[in-house]
A and B are shown apart, each in its own frame.
Chain A
Amino acid sequence: MSQAQVVDVPESDPRVKQMLKVIKNYQKRPDALVQVLHAVQDTFGYLPMNLIRVVSKELHIPPSRVFGVVTFYYYFSLKPKGEHNCLVCTGTACYVKGAQKIIDQISASFGVKDGQTTPDNKLGLQTARCIGCCGLAPAVVLDNEILPRTDPAQITGLINARLGAKK
């Protein structure tokens, strides 16, 4: 219920200029709101509150409508995500194939709950209703890479390999 923890991006950040360019490319059309928010989320990894204000102002969309859109779609996040992100599909096929066991295993191994990140901000865990890969159930998306037919016994190893690989 409480307001999401606000993490602002300084206006001097070069990526802010890039964002304004994206808005300009859409000719500041109000109907480009979702595309612009996508671009912001892709650049920063989340939607910084001060930039949402800029988007609202630039596109001439009332603040409350922008915030309504941001909170309606689960894709948009107001909090910074982890360095690595693990998304477990909980759609019908994956659920039947044991997605909950995989979530429980990840939660137990890394001490992270659904929708949160580990205290060191290394790993974020999310769930999605269906990612459209029901043939690969139970599917996990680790940093935009799909891990097909995962099972609880190996998931910890796979994530550990990923966490170690980039450091």
Chain B
Amino acid sequence: MTPLAAPTTTILVTIDEKTYSADPGETILDVCKREGINIPTLCFLEGVSTVGACRLCLIEIEGTRKLLPACATVVAPFQKVKTNSDRLKKNRRMTLELLFSERNHICSVCVANYNCRLQDLAHEVGMDHVRFPYLFPDCNVDGTNKIYNIDHNRCIMCTKCVRTCDEVEGAHTWDVRGRGFESRIIADFDEAWGTSPTCTLCGKCVSVCPTGALWHKQSVQNNMKKSPEMVSELTAKRGRKG
């Protein structure tokens, strides 16, 4: 018996009342990106694995009560997707407010001010204040590295640095310690970054960091430019699909 070749049919999905065709296996975010539909993302990075951690790309699918992350939801035939309903708008704003209140985000004194994905998204959804009290956790800044700094006060635990370090650089210097509210990004055995034997000082984690949590030592306030596309281009050149 010869196995039948998998049928390569095109899937039709309806996104915001318009119908688009998609290939099987594509995620809703892939389709939206191609068709120019804006879905806010924070932890998604093309070229590295998807974790669905930030919950900003949540979308509504008809027939499901739950909100699903667009980055990790694969298209299905005749799916009806809403990307910008009132419920989603409310939800996105709340998620952002919770992200802001979880750590010590103060834009005016941040290196990434005006170059921050978190700040941009807050702008985009019209977040003018945070209704939740800031938690003000006790976070430290690790300045032991020669070239870079890590400031846990500004970290949003998107784990882009962890995935990039592991999957693109192959060093796996970063990982996450603890769980929930107490989780932190760690280098090796929760040691100083500067003396880490695994870190190659490649700086990819710094370029993908969406906030000012990782930054170049020489950059002063407001001039830290990030370039996450660099990592995506790199993986594309290596022939890995995002």
Q: Contacting B172 at CB < 8 Å: which of A49, A53, A65, A72? A: A65
Q: In the bound complex, do residue A67 and residue B190 qualify as a contact, i.e. CB atoms below 8 Å apart?
A: yes
Q: Which residues of B contact A72 (CB under 8 A)?
A: 178-179
A contact residues around B174 at 8 Å (CB): 64
Q: In chain B, residues 179-228, which have Cβ atoms closer than 8 Å to a Cβ of chain A? A: 179, 186-190, 198
Contact of A65 among B175, B178, B179, B190 (CB under 8 A): B175
Chain B 95-114: CB-based contact to A (< 8 A → 1; otherwise 0): 00000000000000000000
A53 to B197, CA, bound (A): 13
Inter-subunit contact A62/B172 (CB<8 Å): yes
Using Cβ atoms and an 8 Å threshold, which residues of chain A touch B177? 67-68, 71
CA distance in complex: A63, B188 (Å):
5
Docked-complex contact A1 and B173, CB < 8 angstroms: no
How many residues in B have their beta carbons less than 8 Å from beta carbons of A? Answer: 18
| Contact assessment for A64 and B138 in the assembled complex, using a CB-CB cutoff below 8 Å | no
Q: How far is the CB of A71 from chain B (nearest CB, A)?
A: 5
Tell me which residues across on chain A come within 8 A of B176, comparing CB atoms: 68
Scan residues 138-187 of chain B and give those whose CB is less than 8 A from a CB of chain A. Answer: 138, 140, 166, 171-179, 186-187
Known contacts A3-B190, A52-B189; A64 and B175 CB within 8 A of each other: yes
Q: What DSSP secondary structure best describes chain A's contact surface? A: helix
**With A49-B189, A71-B177, A72-B179 as contacts: A63 and B198 at CB distance below 8 Å:** yes
Interface positions, chain A 21-66, Cβ under 8 Å from B, are: 49, 52-53, 62-66
Given contacts A1-B138, A1-B140, contact A64 B178 (CB under 8 A): no
Quote the shortest CB–CB distance from B177 to chain A (angstroms). Answer: 5
Q: Report whether A68 and B186 are in contact in the complex, using a CB–CB cutoff of 8 Å.
A: yes
Residues from chain A with Cβ under 8 Å of B179 in the complex: 71-72
A30 CB, nearest partner CB in chain B, Å:
12
- Enumerate chain B residues within 8 angstroms of A3, measured Cβ to Cβ: 190
B198 with A62: CB separation less than 8 A: yes
| New contact pairs (5) apart from A67-B177, A68-B176, CB-CB < 8 Å | A52-B189, A62-B172, A62-B175, A62-B198, A64-B173
Task: List, sorted by A's number, 10 A–B pairs whose CB atoms are closer than 8 Å.
Answer: A1-B140, A3-B190, A49-B189, A52-B189, A64-B173, A64-B187, A65-B175, A68-B176, A71-B190, A72-B179
Q: Which residues of B contact A (CB under 8 A)?
A: 138, 140, 166, 171-179, 186-190, 198
